[in-house]
Amino acid sequence: MPKMKTKRALFARFRVTATGKLKRSRAGKRHIMTKKTPKRKRQLSKPGLVSVCQLKMYKRLMGV
């Protein structure tokens, strides 16, 4: 069985934390910012974590 190629696009979107979780940036902070409240914009700038259901698949694709 040949080695599985890593998906390089995932390395641009996710960072692996020390505990092995994947950190991601939140969607919705690119445009149409005027109608969003300051609290919502502030919370969107904080990083999020990849959900547990998708974590195994993404880590396999990254080769981590």
Does pTM surpass 0.85?
no
pLDDT at residue number 32: 95
**Which residue's structure tokens are 């904080």?**
46
pLDDT at residue number 56: 93
Pick the CATH number of 8-62 from 1.10.260.40, 3.40.630.30, 3.40.50.12280, 4.10.410.60: 4.10.410.60
Compute the distance between CA of residue 2 and CA of residue 25 in angstroms, rounded to an integer.
32
Mean pLDDT of 6-11: 92
pLDDT at residue number 10: 93
The secondary structure of residue 15, as a DSSP letter, is E
pLDDT digit string (tens) for 21-43?
999 999 999 999 999 999 999 99
- Decide if pLDDT at 4 tops 90: no
* Of 13, 28, 2, 19, the residue nearest 58 (C-alpha): 13
**Extents of the domains making up the chain:** 8-62
Compute the distance between CA of residue 50 and CA of residue 14 in angstroms, rounded to an integer.
9
The secondary structure of residue 9, as a DSSP letter, is H
pLDDT at residue number 8: 92
